Amino acid sequence: MNSGGFVATDSVTDATEYARALERWGWDALWAIDSQQLYTDLYVTLTACARATDDLTLAPGITNPKSRHPSVTANAIASLDQAADGRTVLGIGAGDSAVYSIGRRPASVDELAESAEKLRRLLRGEAVTFGGEPFRLESCRRDVQVYVAAEGPQTLRMAGEVADGVIFGGGPKPETVEELGLANVRRGAKRAGRSLEDIEIVALTPTCVAETRAEAVEKLKPVIEPIAYHNFTFSVEEAPDEVQDDLRSLVDAHDMQEHGDEEADALSDINDEVWEYLGDRFAVAGPPAACRERLRALEKLGVDHVMCLFPPERIAETERFHEAVLEDSELCP
Protein backbone atom coordinates (compact mmCIF):
# COMPACT_ATOMS: atom_id res chain seq x y z
CA MET A 1 0.00 0.00 0.00
CA ASN A 2 1.40 3.38 -1.02
CA SER A 3 1.60 6.41 1.25
CA GLY A 4 1.07 10.05 0.32
CA GLY A 5 1.22 13.28 2.26
CA PHE A 6 -1.23 16.16 1.90
CA VAL A 7 -0.39 19.86 1.93
CA ALA A 8 -2.62 22.89 2.47
CA THR A 9 -0.50 25.99 2.98
CA ASP A 10 -0.19 29.68 2.15
CA SER A 11 3.56 29.22 1.51
CA VAL A 12 5.08 27.64 -1.59
CA THR A 13 8.33 27.24 0.33
CA ASP A 14 6.52 25.27 3.03
CA ALA A 15 5.07 22.93 0.40
CA THR A 16 8.42 22.32 -1.31
CA GLU A 17 10.11 21.59 2.02
CA TYR A 18 7.40 19.04 2.77
CA ALA A 19 7.78 17.49 -0.68
CA ARG A 20 11.52 17.08 -0.15
CA ALA A 21 10.92 15.50 3.26
CA LEU A 22 8.40 13.01 1.87
CA GLU A 23 10.81 11.99 -0.86
CA ARG A 24 13.63 11.64 1.67
CA TRP A 25 11.49 9.23 3.71
CA GLY A 26 10.58 7.22 0.61
CA TRP A 27 6.92 8.23 0.48
CA ASP A 28 5.09 7.89 -2.81
CA ALA A 29 3.09 11.07 -3.38
CA LEU A 30 2.24 14.63 -2.40
CA TRP A 31 -1.37 15.78 -2.74
CA ALA A 32 -2.05 19.54 -2.72
CA ILE A 33 -5.32 21.28 -1.96
CA ASP A 34 -7.10 23.56 -4.45
CA SER A 35 -8.71 26.41 -2.52
CA GLN A 36 -7.84 29.82 -3.91
CA GLN A 37 -9.01 31.94 -0.97
CA LEU A 38 -7.03 30.10 1.70
CA TYR A 39 -3.91 28.58 0.14
CA THR A 40 -1.29 29.05 -2.57
CA ASP A 41 -2.24 28.24 -6.14
CA LEU A 42 -2.38 24.52 -6.70
CA TYR A 43 -0.39 24.33 -9.93
CA VAL A 44 2.24 26.91 -8.99
CA THR A 45 2.79 24.97 -5.76
CA LEU A 46 3.04 21.58 -7.46
CA THR A 47 5.35 22.92 -10.18
CA ALA A 48 7.70 24.18 -7.47
CA CYS A 49 7.50 20.75 -5.84
CA ALA A 50 8.28 19.11 -9.19
CA ARG A 51 11.47 21.18 -9.42
CA ALA A 52 12.41 20.19 -5.85
CA THR A 53 11.95 16.41 -6.22
CA ASP A 54 12.88 13.55 -8.53
CA ASP A 55 10.56 10.63 -7.81
CA LEU A 56 7.53 11.89 -5.85
CA THR A 57 4.14 11.67 -7.57
CA LEU A 58 2.44 15.09 -7.51
CA ALA A 59 -1.32 15.40 -7.53
CA PRO A 60 -4.15 17.90 -7.09
CA GLY A 61 -5.98 16.74 -4.02
CA ILE A 62 -8.60 17.85 -4.90
CA THR A 63 -9.60 20.24 -7.71
CA ASN A 64 -13.15 20.73 -9.04
CA PRO A 65 -14.99 21.65 -12.27
CA LYS A 66 -16.69 24.74 -10.83
CA SER A 67 -13.84 27.09 -9.88
CA ARG A 68 -11.67 25.78 -12.76
CA HIS A 69 -13.17 24.88 -16.13
CA PRO A 70 -12.25 21.31 -17.15
CA SER A 71 -10.38 22.61 -20.22
CA VAL A 72 -8.22 24.79 -17.96
CA THR A 73 -7.62 21.89 -15.57
CA ALA A 74 -6.67 19.58 -18.44
CA ASN A 75 -4.06 22.03 -19.72
CA ALA A 76 -2.77 22.71 -16.20
CA ILE A 77 -2.25 19.05 -15.29
CA ALA A 78 -0.76 18.25 -18.72
CA SER A 79 1.68 21.13 -18.29
CA LEU A 80 2.54 20.04 -14.75
CA ASP A 81 3.05 16.51 -16.03
CA GLN A 82 5.64 17.84 -18.47
CA ALA A 83 7.42 19.74 -15.68
CA ALA A 84 7.35 16.65 -13.45
CA ASP A 85 8.51 14.21 -16.16
CA GLY A 86 5.32 12.16 -15.96
CA ARG A 87 4.93 12.09 -12.16
CA THR A 88 1.32 13.21 -11.85
CA VAL A 89 -2.23 12.05 -11.33
CA LEU A 90 -5.31 14.29 -11.22
CA GLY A 91 -7.75 14.29 -8.32
CA ILE A 92 -11.11 15.97 -8.97
CA GLY A 93 -14.27 16.25 -6.89
CA ALA A 94 -17.48 18.23 -6.63
CA GLY A 95 -15.87 21.18 -4.84
CA ASP A 96 -15.97 22.57 -1.34
CA SER A 97 -14.24 25.68 0.02
CA ALA A 98 -12.98 26.71 -3.44
CA VAL A 99 -16.56 26.72 -4.71
CA TYR A 100 -18.46 28.09 -1.73
CA SER A 101 -15.98 30.98 -1.36
CA ILE A 102 -17.07 32.38 -4.74
CA GLY A 103 -20.79 31.89 -4.17
CA ARG A 104 -21.20 28.78 -6.30
CA ARG A 105 -22.57 25.34 -5.60
CA PRO A 106 -20.60 22.09 -5.86
CA ALA A 107 -20.91 20.06 -9.05
CA SER A 108 -23.76 17.60 -9.25
CA VAL A 109 -22.99 13.91 -9.75
CA ASP A 110 -23.79 14.25 -13.46
CA GLU A 111 -21.64 17.38 -13.84
CA LEU A 112 -18.72 15.71 -12.09
CA ALA A 113 -19.10 12.58 -14.23
CA GLU A 114 -19.13 14.63 -17.44
CA SER A 115 -16.06 16.58 -16.34
CA ALA A 116 -14.14 13.44 -15.38
CA GLU A 117 -14.99 11.73 -18.67
CA LYS A 118 -13.94 14.77 -20.74
CA LEU A 119 -10.73 15.12 -18.76
CA ARG A 120 -9.87 11.48 -19.36
CA ARG A 121 -10.46 11.89 -23.09
CA LEU A 122 -8.48 15.13 -23.31
CA LEU A 123 -5.55 13.60 -21.46
CA ARG A 124 -5.57 10.69 -23.91
CA GLY A 125 -5.18 13.20 -26.74
CA GLU A 126 -8.79 13.04 -27.92
CA ALA A 127 -11.05 15.95 -28.91
CA VAL A 128 -14.17 16.87 -26.91
CA THR A 129 -16.75 19.64 -27.22
CA PHE A 130 -17.45 22.51 -24.83
CA GLY A 131 -20.51 24.61 -25.63
CA GLY A 132 -20.62 23.09 -29.10
CA GLU A 133 -16.99 24.00 -29.82
CA PRO A 134 -14.41 21.27 -30.50
CA PHE A 135 -11.42 21.29 -28.15
CA ARG A 136 -8.18 19.31 -28.24
CA LEU A 137 -5.24 19.70 -25.88
CA GLU A 138 -1.93 20.54 -27.58
CA SER A 139 0.10 20.26 -24.35
CA CYS A 140 -0.82 16.61 -23.72
CA ARG A 141 2.17 14.25 -23.73
CA ARG A 142 0.92 11.40 -21.55
CA ASP A 143 -2.34 9.79 -20.42
CA VAL A 144 -2.57 11.30 -16.92
CA GLN A 145 -4.83 9.20 -14.69
CA VAL A 146 -8.01 10.86 -13.36
CA TYR A 147 -9.17 10.04 -9.82
CA VAL A 148 -12.63 11.09 -8.65
CA ALA A 149 -13.16 12.06 -5.00
CA ALA A 150 -16.37 10.67 -3.53
CA GLU A 151 -18.17 10.11 -0.23
CA GLY A 152 -21.81 9.38 -1.01
CA PRO A 153 -23.24 6.25 -2.69
CA GLN A 154 -24.23 7.92 -5.98
CA THR A 155 -20.88 9.61 -6.49
CA LEU A 156 -19.00 6.46 -5.51
CA ARG A 157 -20.94 4.39 -8.04
CA MET A 158 -20.34 7.00 -10.73
CA ALA A 159 -16.62 7.05 -9.91
CA GLY A 160 -16.54 3.28 -10.22
CA GLU A 161 -17.94 3.65 -13.73
CA VAL A 162 -15.77 6.43 -15.15
CA ALA A 163 -12.59 7.03 -13.12
CA ASP A 164 -9.10 5.57 -13.16
CA GLY A 165 -9.06 5.89 -9.38
CA VAL A 166 -11.39 6.76 -6.50
CA ILE A 167 -10.45 8.98 -3.56
CA PHE A 168 -12.74 7.81 -0.77
CA GLY A 169 -13.41 10.63 1.68
CA GLY A 170 -15.90 8.86 3.94
CA GLY A 171 -13.29 7.90 6.52
CA PRO A 172 -10.71 5.11 6.93
CA LYS A 173 -12.71 3.07 9.42
CA PRO A 174 -12.57 -0.38 7.77
CA GLU A 175 -16.31 -1.05 8.04
CA THR A 176 -17.06 2.29 6.38
CA VAL A 177 -14.51 1.71 3.64
CA GLU A 178 -16.03 -1.67 2.79
CA GLU A 179 -19.75 -1.04 3.27
CA LEU A 180 -19.98 2.52 1.94
CA GLY A 181 -16.88 2.90 -0.19
CA LEU A 182 -15.84 -0.31 -1.90
CA ALA A 183 -19.34 -1.76 -2.18
CA ASN A 184 -20.56 1.22 -4.19
CA VAL A 185 -17.40 1.55 -6.30
CA ARG A 186 -17.73 -2.15 -7.09
CA ARG A 187 -21.35 -1.67 -8.21
CA GLY A 188 -20.39 1.21 -10.47
CA ALA A 189 -17.47 -0.68 -11.95
CA LYS A 190 -19.73 -3.64 -12.72
CA ARG A 191 -22.14 -1.37 -14.62
CA ALA A 192 -19.24 -0.31 -16.84
CA GLY A 193 -17.99 -3.86 -17.37
CA ARG A 194 -15.03 -3.32 -15.06
CA SER A 195 -13.94 -4.75 -11.72
CA LEU A 196 -12.59 -3.18 -8.55
CA GLU A 197 -9.12 -4.39 -9.55
CA ASP A 198 -9.22 -1.96 -12.50
CA ILE A 199 -9.52 1.04 -10.16
CA GLU A 200 -6.95 2.57 -7.82
CA ILE A 201 -8.47 3.08 -4.36
CA VAL A 202 -7.18 6.00 -2.29
CA ALA A 203 -8.35 6.56 1.30
CA LEU A 204 -8.33 10.15 2.52
CA THR A 205 -6.94 9.74 6.02
CA PRO A 206 -6.36 12.28 8.81
CA THR A 207 -3.33 10.80 10.54
CA CYS A 208 -1.53 11.27 13.86
CA VAL A 209 0.44 9.05 16.22
CA ALA A 210 0.31 9.80 19.96
CA GLU A 211 0.15 7.99 23.30
CA THR A 212 -3.66 7.90 23.17
CA ARG A 213 -6.30 8.32 20.49
CA ALA A 214 -7.77 11.25 22.40
CA GLU A 215 -4.42 13.06 22.28
CA ALA A 216 -4.07 12.35 18.55
CA VAL A 217 -7.62 13.49 17.80
CA GLU A 218 -7.02 16.69 19.76
CA LYS A 219 -4.18 17.54 17.36
CA LEU A 220 -6.28 16.53 14.36
CA LYS A 221 -9.36 18.62 15.19
CA PRO A 222 -8.72 21.30 12.52
CA VAL A 223 -8.16 18.52 9.97
CA ILE A 224 -11.16 16.36 10.87
CA GLU A 225 -13.75 19.14 11.27
CA PRO A 226 -13.77 20.26 7.58
CA ILE A 227 -13.95 16.63 6.46
CA ALA A 228 -16.90 16.01 8.76
CA TYR A 229 -18.55 19.17 7.45
CA HIS A 230 -18.06 17.99 3.86
CA ASN A 231 -19.48 14.53 4.62
CA PHE A 232 -22.52 15.74 6.55
CA THR A 233 -23.47 18.95 4.68
CA PHE A 234 -26.50 17.38 3.03
CA SER A 235 -27.39 14.53 5.40
CA VAL A 236 -26.41 13.10 8.78
CA GLU A 237 -28.59 9.99 8.43
CA GLU A 238 -25.69 7.54 8.17
CA ALA A 239 -24.31 8.69 11.55
CA PRO A 240 -25.50 7.19 14.86
CA ASP A 241 -28.72 8.71 16.18
CA GLU A 242 -27.06 10.06 19.32
CA VAL A 243 -24.70 12.37 17.39
CA GLN A 244 -26.93 13.49 14.52
CA ASP A 245 -28.12 16.72 16.17
CA ASP A 246 -24.54 17.63 17.06
CA LEU A 247 -23.41 16.98 13.50
CA ARG A 248 -26.15 19.25 12.16
CA SER A 249 -24.85 21.92 14.53
CA LEU A 250 -21.29 21.30 13.28
CA VAL A 251 -22.42 21.89 9.70
CA ASP A 252 -24.29 25.06 10.66
CA ALA A 253 -21.31 26.42 12.61
CA HIS A 254 -18.68 25.78 9.93
CA ASP A 255 -17.11 29.02 8.66
CA MET A 256 -15.42 28.89 5.23
CA GLN A 257 -13.14 31.74 6.32
CA GLU A 258 -11.81 29.40 9.04
CA HIS A 259 -11.77 26.21 6.94
CA GLY A 260 -8.95 24.07 8.37
CA ASP A 261 -7.90 26.75 10.87
CA GLU A 262 -6.66 25.41 14.21
CA GLU A 263 -8.23 28.48 15.87
CA ALA A 264 -11.64 28.00 14.23
CA ASP A 265 -14.52 28.85 16.59
CA ALA A 266 -16.46 25.77 15.46
CA LEU A 267 -13.91 23.41 17.04
CA SER A 268 -14.80 24.38 20.60
CA ASP A 269 -18.52 23.78 20.00
CA ILE A 270 -18.07 20.04 19.38
CA ASN A 271 -18.37 17.87 22.50
CA ASP A 272 -16.14 14.96 23.48
CA GLU A 273 -18.66 12.29 22.48
CA VAL A 274 -18.82 13.67 18.95
CA TRP A 275 -15.03 13.96 18.72
CA GLU A 276 -14.78 10.31 19.78
CA TYR A 277 -17.10 9.33 16.93
CA LEU A 278 -15.34 11.57 14.40
CA GLY A 279 -11.89 10.33 15.41
CA ASP A 280 -12.93 6.70 15.06
CA ARG A 281 -14.69 7.27 11.72
CA PHE A 282 -12.34 9.67 9.99
CA ALA A 283 -8.79 9.10 11.29
CA VAL A 284 -5.84 6.81 11.73
CA ALA A 285 -4.97 8.10 15.18
CA GLY A 286 -3.51 6.90 18.46
CA PRO A 287 -0.63 4.69 19.63
CA PRO A 288 1.67 3.15 16.99
CA ALA A 289 0.16 -0.34 17.28
CA ALA A 290 -3.38 0.98 16.78
CA CYS A 291 -2.30 2.99 13.73
CA ARG A 292 -0.58 -0.02 12.20
CA GLU A 293 -3.63 -2.20 12.87
CA ARG A 294 -5.93 0.18 10.98
CA LEU A 295 -3.50 0.57 8.09
CA ARG A 296 -3.15 -3.20 7.78
CA ALA A 297 -6.94 -3.53 7.77
CA LEU A 298 -7.18 -0.98 4.93
CA GLU A 299 -4.52 -2.81 2.95
CA LYS A 300 -6.32 -6.12 3.47
CA LEU A 301 -9.54 -4.59 2.11
CA GLY A 302 -7.74 -3.59 -1.08
CA VAL A 303 -6.95 0.07 -0.45
CA ASP A 304 -3.99 0.94 -2.69
CA HIS A 305 -2.97 4.29 -1.26
CA VAL A 306 -3.50 6.31 1.92
CA MET A 307 -3.56 10.10 1.53
CA CYS A 308 -2.38 11.20 4.99
CA LEU A 309 -3.52 14.56 6.37
CA PHE A 310 -1.38 15.46 9.38
CA PRO A 311 -1.82 18.11 12.09
CA PRO A 312 -0.55 21.65 11.32
CA GLU A 313 3.11 20.91 12.22
CA ARG A 314 3.08 18.55 9.27
CA ILE A 315 6.79 17.85 8.75
CA ALA A 316 7.42 17.02 12.41
CA GLU A 317 4.16 15.05 12.67
CA THR A 318 4.86 13.09 9.48
CA GLU A 319 8.38 12.25 10.62
CA ARG A 320 7.08 11.09 14.00
CA PHE A 321 4.48 8.90 12.28
CA HIS A 322 7.01 7.53 9.80
CA GLU A 323 9.46 6.56 12.54
CA ALA A 324 6.93 5.24 15.08
CA VAL A 325 4.44 3.50 12.80
CA LEU A 326 5.94 2.74 9.38
CA GLU A 327 9.69 2.39 9.79
CA ASP A 328 10.91 -1.17 10.36
CA SER A 329 7.49 -2.57 9.41
CA GLU A 330 6.10 -4.06 6.22
CA LEU A 331 4.07 -0.83 5.85
CA CYS A 332 7.18 1.30 5.26
CA PRO A 333 7.14 2.99 1.83
What confidence score (pLDDT) does residue 62 get? 96
Average pLDDT over residues 303-326: 97
Which pLDDT band, with edges at 50, 70 and 90, does 143 fall under?
A: very high
Whose CA is closest to 107, among 97, 123, 118, 96? 96
Whose CA is closest to 312, among 206, 172, 228? 206
Q: Measured between alpha carbons, how far is 72 from 169 in angstroms, rounded to an integer? A: 25
pLDDT > 70? residue 259? no
Q: Are 225 and 288 in contact (CB under 8 A)?
A: no
Of 54-63, 151-160, 216-225, 262-271, the least confident: 262-271
What confidence score (pLDDT) does residue 263 get? 66
Q: Residue length, the chain?
A: 333
Query: 96: which residues sit within 8 A by CB, 6+ positions away?
Result: 35, 64, 106, 226, 230, 259
Which pLDDT band, with edges at 50, 70 and 90, does 133 fall under?
A: very high
Average pLDDT over residues 233-253: 88
| Chain segment 32-81, per-residue pLDDT in tens | 999 999 999 999 999 999 999 999 999 999 999 999 999 999 999 999 99
What confidence score (pLDDT) does residue 260 get? 64
Q: Measured between alpha carbons, how far is 127 from 118 in angstroms, rounded to an integer? A: 9
Domains of the chain listed by start with CATH number: 2-210+287-326 (3.20.20.30)
Q: Which residues of 8-42 are buried (b: 16+ CB within 10 A; e: fewer)?
A: bbeebebbbbbbbbbbebebbbbbbbbbeebbbeb
Q: Are 203 and 182 in contact (CB under 8 A)?
A: no
What is the SS3 assignment for the chain? CEEEEEECCCCHHHHHHHHHHHHHCCCCEEEECCCCCCCCCHHHHHHHHHHHCCCCEEEECCECCCCCCHHHHHHHHHHHHHHCCCCECEEECCCCHHHHCCCCCCCCHHHHHHHHHHHHHHHCCCCEEECCEEECCCCCCCCCCEEEEECCHHHHHHHHHHCCEEEECCCCCHHHHHHHHHHHHHHHHHHCCCCHHHCEEEEEEEEEECCCHHHHHHHHHHHHHHHHHHHHCCCCCCCCHHHHHHHHHHHHHCCHHHCCCCCCHHHHHCCHHHHHHHHHHHCEEECHHHHHHHHHHHHHHCCCEEEEECCCCHHHHHHHHHHHHHCCCCCCC
pLDDT > 90? residue 92? yes
More confident residue, 206 or 98: 206
| Chain segment 154-189, per-residue pLDDT in tens | 999 999 999 999 999 999 999 999 999 999 999 999
Q: Are 211 and 287 in contact (CB under 8 A)?
A: yes
